[in-house]
């Protein structure tokens, strides 16, 4: 209840300043690969060993994305994290511009441009490593 109230109160209501284009989508995919894929998976939806050991389970975004969520909510979760879960805050390690680029990718991962889709599909699986 308190998490929903905080997100409702604090999540940005303004449009995403990161324009929907290949430059921003590719930047978001690169940020996702470095910061998110280990828990949230690649395009194949396979959970990594890290993700399999998390409690609470991290959603595998290729299967259960956040494309229906408002961008402000996605941004808020990335920036602030979620306590008592494995979701860290990236507010101290990513710039606001980077968080918006990551948000852009997550919001539109089901409707990417051709170039961004190719980059997303090329992201190595996190679940098939030794």
pTM, two decimals, is: 0.93
Say what the pLDDT of residue 122 is.
96
Give the SS3 label for residue 6: helix
Tokens of 10: 């604090």
User: What does each of the 130 residues of the chain score in pLDDT, given as a tens digit?
Assistant: 888 899 999 999 999 999 999 999 999 999 999 999 999 999 999 999 999 999 999 999 999 999 999 999 999 999 999 988 899 999 999 999 999 999 999 999 999 999 999 999 999 988 765 4
DSSP state of 67: T
Q: What is the DSSP string of 92-111?
A: TTS-HHHHHHHHHHHHTTTS
Nearest Cα to Cα of residue 24 among 122, 88, 113, 118: 113
Based on the number of CB atoms within 10 Å of its own CB, is 18 exposed (0-12), middle (13-18) or buried (19 or more)?
A: buried
Q: Which residues contact 54 (CB under 8 A, 6 or more apart)?
A: 39, 86
Q: How far is CA 80 from the centre of its chain?
A: 13
């Amino acid at each position: 209840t308190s998490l929903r109230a905080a997100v409702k109160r604090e999540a940005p209501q303004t449009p995403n300043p990161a324009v929907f284009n290949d430059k921003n989508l590719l930047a978001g995919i690169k940020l996702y690969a470095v910061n998110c894929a280990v828990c949230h998976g690649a395009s194949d939806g396979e959970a990594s060993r890290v993700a399999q050991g998390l409690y609470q389970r991290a959603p595998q975004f290729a299967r259960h994305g956040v494309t229906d969520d408002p961008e402000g909510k996605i941004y808020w979760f990335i920036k602030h994290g979620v306590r008592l879960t494995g979701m860290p805050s990236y507010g101290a390690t990513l710039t606001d511009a980077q968080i918006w680029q990551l948000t852009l990718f997550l919001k539109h991962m089901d409707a990417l441009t051709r170039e961004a889709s190719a980059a997303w599909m090329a992201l190595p699986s996190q679940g098939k490593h030794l």
